[in-house]
Amino acid sequence: MRRVAVIGGGHTRFVTHSPNTSLELLAEASMDAIANSNISPKDIQAINCGNVLGEFTDGQGMIQSYLADDIGCNHVPATRFEGACATGTIAVRDAAIQVAAGVYDIMLVAGVEKATAMDTPLATRTFAMFSDSRYENPAGFTFPAVFAMLCHLYASHYDIPLETLKEQMAQVSVQSHYYGARNPNAQFQKELTVEKVLNGPMVTTPLQLMDCCPFTDGAAAVILASEEMARKLTDTPVWIAGTGQASSGHLASQSRYLPRIRARELSVKQAYKMAGIGPEDVDICELHDCFSIASIIAAESLGFAEFGKAGQLWETGETKIDGKIPINISGGLKSKGHPIGATGVSQVYEVSRQLRGDLADQGRQVDGAKVGLVDTLGGDGVIVNLVLKRD
Ligand code: COA
């Protein structure tokens, strides 16, 4: 297999109620990525496009072919991907495999969502379609409810008083907003305090408003290239050194593992093995923090803390830029936002910028970061992981 690099990326600001269509957002991020990669649209040989809700939010299916046309690439295959919140990461992983296999030399991967085109009740019901439609969705499971349940399970499984866990979770949100306030692409650029989190409105016990990621509009794009092309186009290629993906199925089928998501442990093992690294080698991680408890659960399965202990990473500041394992220095889904079709692409964009050392002027550069990990969860249990490395 050939080596594959991320050679550049583009990003719209993530917002509530964008005045632009999904197609316009996609085109903006894609043209930004093309310009930042020193290529032109005619150099792109294939497009992978992540979009989940286009039919509902824009009345637009087949968005990938209109993207190809709008950016001057209608000569190439354009394929749409859907994997709920993991859509973008699946699209990047698939492109990496195609470039590694020698099918294409340069690919564009772009993702978009306009989730706030729907109001919260409709978006909540629509997102609930990503849970199992036989047993979960009809029983009224929504994603805030799923993670509230995981929170109770976590507290009882590891014998942690709920109040202690809630304070740890609040630290997760406080840190996310601290870095989000320094990320010009973030939806919420406002710092928080633990008191503000704990005194916020209740969404679904025990999750409060500031434990939850928002609904978001926005797009992100990256350009992947073979090693030969990457060496010609950039001095700072960021290699996709390992990938993994696994599916857990509906929650009942994972009952022996919960609150852990079994697919994460399978997926990250594949990614670490392929990259020849372990969790101790990771310098920066963007993980799937759709709810504050989700960060704690993810950090353990990724190998950054013992099971039942990850909350202490945030309590002690080990997840900050100068800590043992910097996590979600973009602001994460919580503060940067979560436009589901774009989220994974945005995570890859962020980690690759960290590995290039691009973020010092935003006050959120992890000094000397060489190895990054991306972690994304879709629905009840599709996990995708990517290990990125710089030379
Ligand atoms: N974090 C921080 N602030 C938020 C927020 C969030 N998650 N969601 C909304 N806000 C802010 C809004 O900007 C608004 O502020 P303003 O009054 O200063 O303008 C205020 O809170 C109320 O916003 P509103 O849109 O009315 O909130 P809501 O009650 O309709 O929705 C949630 C809040 C948390 C219920 C909703 O964002 C949600 O369900 N999030 C989870 C999304 C999800 O499940 N994603 C999939 C994950 S797997």
CATH architecture of 4-119+216-238: 3-Layer(aba) Sandwich (3.40)
d(CA 320, CA 364): 9
- Name, in order, each residue with C-beta under 8 angstroms of 320's C-beta and a sequence gap of 6 or more: 175, 326
Instruction: State which ligand 1 atom lies nearest to the alpha carbon of 143.
Output: 44
- 4-119+216-238 with 140-212+241-390: one CATH topology? yes
The answer to whether 252 touches 341, Cβ cutoff 8 Å, is: no
Smallest CA separation from ligand 1 atom 22, residue: 209
**For residue 68, what pLDDT is reported?**
98
Domain residue spans of the chain? 4-119+216-238, 140-212+241-390
338 is catalytic: yes
288 is catalytic: no
Span from the CA of 215 to the centroid of ligand 1 (angstroms):
7
**For residue 142, what pLDDT is reported?**
95
Q: What is the pLDDT along the chain (391 residues), one digit of tens a residue?
A: 999 999 999 999 999 999 999 999 999 999 999 999 999 999 999 999 999 999 999 999 999 999 999 999 999 999 999 999 999 999 999 999 999 999 999 999 999 999 999 999 999 999 999 999 999 999 989 999 999 999 999 999 999 999 999 999 999 999 999 999 999 999 999 999 999 999 999 999 999 999 999 999 999 999 999 999 999 999 999 999 999 999 988 998 888 999 999 999 999 999 999 999 999 999 999 999 999 999 999 999 999 999 999 999 999 999 999 999 999 999 999 999 999 999 999 999 999 999 999 999 999 999 999 999 999 999 988 999 999 999 9
Count CB neighbours of 149 within 10 A: 17
Q: Is 16 exposed, middle or buried (0-12, 13-18, 19+ CB in 10 A)?
A: middle
d(CA 56, CA 61): 9
Q: What is the pTM of this model?
A: 0.98
140-212+241-390 adopts what CATH topology?
Answer: Peroxisomal Thiolase; Chain A, domain 1 (3.40.47)
